[in-house]
Amino acid sequence: MHEKTIFEKIVDGELPCNKVLENEDFLAFHDINPKAPIHILIIPKKHFKDFQEFDPDLMAKMTSFIQELAILLELDKKGYKLLTNCGKNSGQEVFHLHFHMLGGF
């Protein structure tokens, strides 16, 4: 068994976050070190180390969640960046799959 990541601790309620959107499978919250006026982290509640481990069927559900989030933040028409790092050499620091939604530029 692996050591819990900070994101797993957030999902389990052990650490706080500034939630934006949540459902049974996913959680979106403000990044504590934002790189844009709007910087949201989007995670699956179930642990996946990175994108290579992610369940393709769950990705379809995550797509809908991300689209809903963009509408909620009014970024669907204004535009946003969606980014994930996969592996240590890409700059991934937290080894729990997460997407960054950056907007408000």
Report, as residue numbers or ranges, the catalytic residues. 98
- At 103 the three-state DSSP class reads strand
65 contacts 26 by C-beta, under 8 angstroms: yes
Under DSSP, is residue 29 helix (H, G, I), strand (E, B) or coil? strand
